Chains A and B, each alone.
Chain A
Amino acid sequence: MFDLATVFEFTRDTVILTVGITAVLASLGVILCSSPIYCALYLISHMICLALLFLLCNAEFLAVVQIIVYAGAVMILFLFIIALLGGEKEIQENSLERSIAFGLIFILLGELYLSATVGPTKQIEGKINPEMFGTAKAIGLELYSKHIVAFELASAVLLVAAVGVICLAKFSFAPLKRR
């Protein structure tokens, strides 16, 4: 009468579907909401939903890093800027850009439909150690063995960007007088 496996699958699917739909709705809120603060909050909730989706795929480390970096560090700066500049509501008006944007949405929906008709999704094949899957160790081993050059280059670029920001921020103003 009841099959446990299907019940479990059903709950899992429901959770995935709920999180996914919430993510889509939140991202719609980002572009449709007129108040910048609420836009930022929608973006945060979208990122948390993405982290939950990572978690549902057992990618624990990735989920936590997603929350720390994007939902935590990046978005707090967004809110910071909104608070400093004042979050006034913007006035929505019809324009050419708006109609182009709606056109793009329909094209994307069409593409989604096409990709859905291609067929069932396949799992990635390859050597994956099930015990280490999704942990920091697995990512570290991968990053520091196969992709070391790209990794070091990326860190150099980030360092240059950080130094550049400090230069731009520091020397464009007269230094403050010490009291």
Chain B
Amino acid sequence: MGLDWVTEFLNELWDFTVQSLTDNVPLIVGSVKAVVIAVAIMSVVPALVWLERRLMGRFQVRLGPNRVGPFGFGQPMADTIKLLFKESIVQSSADKFLFHLAPAVVVFTAIVAFAVIPFGAPFEVFGQRIELWGANVNSGILFVFAISGMGIYGMVLAGLSSNNKYSLMGGLRSSAQMISYELTLGLSALSVIILTGSLNLVDMVEAQETLPFILIQPLAFLLFFIAGVAETNRAPFDLPEAEQELVAGFHTEYTGMKFAMFFMGEYINMVTMSALVTLLFLGGWNSYGVPIWPIVAFSGKVLFLLCVFIWLRSTFPRIRYDRLMTFGWKILLPLCLLNLLITGTIKVL
């Protein structure tokens, strides 16, 4: 007798485990995808820093980092190690909790926003349909806007909690700028939504199978891209962190890895914005006859847009703050509304 009940219990436990595993395949696949996307997007950041520094070097007729490793590949690694081992300074007048919370909010929202970005057509492995996106949310584009809107809090909180006038000004500027340009961003995306009749990003890509929307909506593309650059706080719209007037703005007081987290957030947002532009206007993973894998087509377009981001940074001087707001509200927004009106009229007719 004795051990019968133990084996019986183990059998039942085994059955239960197998049963729950087979029942929860979507959940497991989803978790794996979430981890893969999060890790991939975070490891893109050092590569992007390397790319930016190298390209900026070329644009400014110098070499850029080339000492650590071949082509300076080791430079981001060395920078990361340096940042990790720096002393983390929190000044005594700061609000400790918010001071620590702010960079976490920035990175978290940046990664979460990428969850709904599809980067390739679905395919089958072992009879299981693998879709190359974290989640196919029905109102995907709204989700991206919602989450990136939450990212503003990171900057505002950093500005507020630092107890420093420069930081406060930087935080306020960033929130004002991002609210203003979010309107342009949303309204220019709306013309694409009108064309496809869906908020779903996958549907949008499938609607561009024959023709990318940049050819149908060139103005909307331009407006979306400009607003996207402003939304990610990149030069020439990097007013919140203007070095000359604000001493780097909302992250003046941050050191070490917390400082680096703001940069991580910025670079991840850059990737997300490039991916959005690709999905909305450049036809996503459609390669239009060029024989390459869909995912390669998508990554190629994103990489090109990232290079354009860097190109803009090294070409244009920073815009004055009042000009920036005037530009956003008096030029971009009316143009957006006009474009929307024309698109809607044509669609109805």
A44 touches B153 (CB 8 A): yes
Contact in complex: B139, A135 (CB < 8 Å): yes
Interface string of B156-190 (1 = CB under 8 A from A): 11011000000010011001100100000000000
Q: CA of A79 to CA of B105 in the docked complex: distance in angstroms? A: 15
CA distance A123 to B175 in the complex (A): 42
Chain A residues within 8 Å of B139, by CB: 60-61, 64, 135-136
Chain B interface mostly helix, strand, loop or mixed? helix
A63-76 CB mask vs B (1 if < 8 Å, else 0) is: 01101100111001
Name, among A37, A83, A134, the residue most crowded by chain B CB atoms within 10 Å (CB to CB): A83
CB-based contact A4/B19 at 8 Å: yes
Q: For the complex, is B71 an interface residue (Cβ under 8 Å from A)?
A: no
**Taking the complex as formed, is A102 at the interface, i.e. its CB lies under 8 A from any CB of chain B?**
no
Residue ID in chain A nearest B141 by CB atoms: A64
A100 within 8 Å of B by Cβ? no
- Chief secondary structure at chain A's binding surface: helix
- Give the number of residues in A that approach B within 8 Å (Cβ atoms): 26
* Interface 9-mer from B35-43, B142-150, B229-237, B284-292: B142-150
Interchain CB contact (< 8 A) of A67 among B19, B23, B150, B171: B150
Report whether A37 and B150 are in contact in the complex, using a CB–CB cutoff of 8 Å.
no
Interface residues on B, range: 20 to 34
Q: Is the CB of A67 within 8 A of B138?
A: no
A61 to B137, CA, bound (A): 10
Asked if B153 and A60 make an inter-chain contact with CB atoms under 8 angstroms apart, the answer reads no
Q: Is A84 an interface residue (CB 8 A)?
A: yes
Q: With A and B bound together, what is the CA distance between A83 and B175 in angstroms? A: 11
Q: Judging by beta carbons under 8 Å apart, are A83 and B150 in contact?
A: no
- A61 to B141: give the CA distance in the assembly, Å: 11
* Pair B142/A65 contact, Cβ less than 8 Å: yes
Q: A60 to B138, Cβ gap below 8 A?
A: yes
Counting from the closest, the 3 A-B pairs by CB-CB distance are A72-B149, A67-B146, A64-B142
Q: Which residues of A contact B (CB under 8 A)?
A: 1-2, 4, 7, 37, 41, 44, 60-61, 64-65, 67-68, 71-73, 76, 79-80, 82-84, 87, 134-136
With A67-B150, A76-B153, A136-B139 given, name 8 new contacts (CB 8 A): A2-B12, A64-B143, A79-B160, A80-B175, A80-B176, A83-B160, A134-B138, A136-B142
